[in-house]
Copies of this chain bind each other. A is one copy, B any other.
């Protein structure tokens, strides 16, 4: 059960397992210290002679396709998360595997959502052995409680690509939910009743998996244009009534926070970007779909208009706020990893300046560079930050694993990474002596922005100099921390965490940056 080798101490002083099951692990060695070895993975070479000449790869249902793929005990099955909490395909695939009597699968989603909670039952009954991928909410709680038989492995979006291309994770069967596809397997997320924008989180799966199944509820005659996944990599196509609940796949609209504290934080970040001289013609930024990030985009937009500044590109996750920038001529391009609302979906389908990107393009650390390090500003969140600017996005202060990494680690490589956090949550200070789980090293965190002021990483003397004359509340992180502790009645208590590892956190280069431990708790999710 959760076999692992001796715990060793990595370059951040965190204890991490030297091996997981029979796979040796490299402890985190520092930013840009570790170098990969070997060649990119390749799946078995196929022959067109084994595929229908007329291009029709349809099979009647998912079970038939999984059987045709030779799914068997102990294999790895992957899915993507572009359908978010509306996804009807990942669970259907795992349930079909259960029907087939297959056991001990490793499920390898690009992320999981509350709709995937029933996978806990499939872990209880032995169909699924463990999950490597984000485990949000109920799945994270299940893992935290030590109920998963195998060790969880969390990777960033870029780290997932890296692990696949390096052959660290070998996908036996990829199941790709496609809002539109043709019988050959060409598939796109940009069209169809369940349109989600892009399906590029499934791109690595389509390129490197041994067998690939495309599942769609909108079959069109060959060719499906555009193709985000190429039929030349696909083995079987399954037509279903519905791949999910469109209302939960895409929100109709995204909404800016109304919290005065969060609005204040968002505005301070925008002012900081302006005052530091980062807001200039040709600049770029990335902001997620969270409340503060969206508000930040709103404030920045006003400043761009005022200063008559045009961005060269902005990074999605896209929303109508980014689409507005594009349509108003305030940015040349949106480079988009995933699409969060209807405005985003319409734009990516119809505007050639709104370009879908893959985790390879955006984030893969084992490529010849990637886009993340060329972004001028990234505004991100965190659950905890410590005085070394190390940050946590996966666990809460009670030790429980409740979030995935997403592109967070990858975005830390931007030229100016801002963590926008409330100074406390539920009366628990967010700035702590030591984060529960290091998800990103403080060297890469340039700014921590709270409603009580902005702390700049002392390593960024250039940024401190640039902001010397600013009237922004720039304060040492220690000072903000002390103020919040006084308000909350002291530092948070250390949670009751065991020394029994349940999951590891990979850094972007495949090394292990930290460990998540079993929590003894009577959490609402934990039993």
Residues of A within 8 A of B (CB): 32, 35-55, 57, 165-166, 184-185, 212, 221-223, 225-226, 230-235, 282, 312-313, 333, 335, 352-353, 355, 360-361, 364-371, 373-374, 413, 509
CA distance A364 to B47 in the complex (A): 9
Oligomer copy total:
2
- A186: nearest chain-B partner, CB-CB: B361
Q: Which residues of B contact A335 (CB under 8 A)?
A: 223
Q: How far is it, in angstroms, between the C-alpha of A165 and the C-alpha of B207 when the chains are bound?
A: 12
A369 x B312 contact (CB < 8 A): no
Contacts of A54 in B (CB 8 A): 373-374
- Given A39-B41, A39-B43, A231-B369, 11 other A-B residues pairs in contact with their CB atoms under 8 A: A39-B44, A45-B166, A47-B509, A48-B413, A49-B365, A221-B312, A223-B313, A225-B333, A225-B352, A231-B368, A233-B367
Closest to A413 in B: B53
Q: Residue among A230, A282, A367 with the most chain B CB within 10 A? A: A367
Contacts of A57 in B (CB 8 A): 368-369
The answer to whether B374 touches A184, judged by C-beta atoms less than 8 angstroms apart, is yes
Contact B45 A38 (CB under 8 A): yes
B residues less than 8 Å from A413 (CB atoms): 48, 53
Q: Choose from B226, B234, B282, B509 the contact partner of A355 (Cβ within 8 Å).
A: B226
* Nearest residue, chain B, Cβ from A365: B48
Known A-B contacts A55-B374, A361-B232; the reply to A366 vs B223 at CB < 8 A is no
Whether the pair A184, B226 counts as a contact (CB closer than 8 A) is no
**Min C-beta distance of A426 to chain B, whole Å:** 38
A42 neighbours in B (Cβ, 8 Å): 39-42, 165
From B352, B366, B369, B371, A352 is in contact (CB under 8 Å) with: B352
Contacts of A36 in B (CB 8 A): 45-47
Distance in Å: Cβ of A347 to nearest Cβ of chain B: 14
CB pair B48–A44 under 8 Å, yes or no, is no
**In the complex the two chains form, what is the Cα distance from A413 to B39 in whole Å?**
33
Q: Are the CB atoms of A232 and B367 closer together than 8 Å? A: yes
In the assembled complex, the CB of A157 is this many whole angstroms from the nearest CB of chain B, namely 14
Complex contact A368–B225 (CB within 8 A)? no
Residues of B within 8 A of A313 (CB): 222-223
Minimum Cβ distance to chain B for residue A127 (Å): 27
Contact A47 B282 (CB under 8 A): no
Q: Using CB atoms, name the residue of chain B closest to A232.
A: B367
User: Given A40-B43, A184-B374, A225-B355, is A48 in contact with B233 using a C-beta cutoff of 8 Å?
Assistant: no
Are the C-beta atoms of A373 and B53 separated by less than 8 Å?
yes
Q: Which residues of B contact A282 (CB under 8 A)?
A: 221
Bound-state CA distance A341–B233 (Å) is 31
Q: Cβ of B232 and Cβ of A370 under 8 Å apart?
A: yes
Q: Are A55 and B232 in contact (CB under 8 A)?
A: no
B48 lies within 8 A of A40 (CB): no
A371 — which chain B residues lie within 8 A by C-beta? 55, 223
CB contacts (< 8 Å) of A35 on chain B: these are 47, 49-50
> With A and B bound together, what is the CA distance between A111 and B334 in angstroms?
36
Cβ of A364: which chain B residues have Cβ within 8 Å of it?
48, 232
Report B-chain residues with C-beta under 8 Å of the C-beta of A360: 230, 232
| Residues of B contacting A369 in the complex (Cβ-Cβ under 8 angstroms) | 48, 51-53, 55, 57, 184, 231-232
How far, in Å, is A445 (CB) from chain B's closest CB? 16
A55 to B166, CA, bound (A): 22
Q: Give min CB distance, A469 to chain B, whole Å.
A: 26
Q: Which residues of chain B come closer than 8 Å to A234, judged between CB atoms?
A: 368
Closest B residue, CB atoms, query A46: B368
Least Cβ–Cβ distance between A35 and chain B, in angstroms = 5
**Given A55-B369, A225-B355, A369-B184; A165-B39 close (CB under 8 Å):** no
User: How far is A84 from B42 in the complex, measured between Cα atoms in Å?
Assistant: 32
Known contacts A221-B282, A352-B225, A360-B232; is A45 also within 8 Å of B366 by CB? yes
A–B Cβ pairs within 8 angstroms, 11 of them:
A40-B43, A40-B45, A48-B370, A53-B369, A55-B369, A184-B369, A225-B333, A225-B352, A225-B355, A233-B368, A234-B368
Which 3 pairs, one residue from A and one from B, show the smallest C-beta to C-beta distance?
Answer: A40-B42, A32-B49, A51-B369
Q: How distant is the Cα of A46 from the Cα of B355 in the complex, in angstroms? A: 25
**A37, A370, A374 pick with most chain B CB within 10 angstroms:** A374
Contact in complex: A46, B367 (CB < 8 Å): yes
Within 8 Å CB of A230, what residues of B?
A: 360-361
User: Which residue on chain B has the smallest CB distance to residue A210?
Assistant: B39
Residues of B within 8 A of A40 (CB): 42-45
Q: Which residues of B contact A41 (CB under 8 A)?
A: 39, 42
Q: What's the nearest-Cβ distance from chain B to residue A298, in Å?
A: 24
Flag if B225 contacts A51 (CB, 8 Å): no
Distance in angstroms from A415 CB to nearest chain B CB is 8
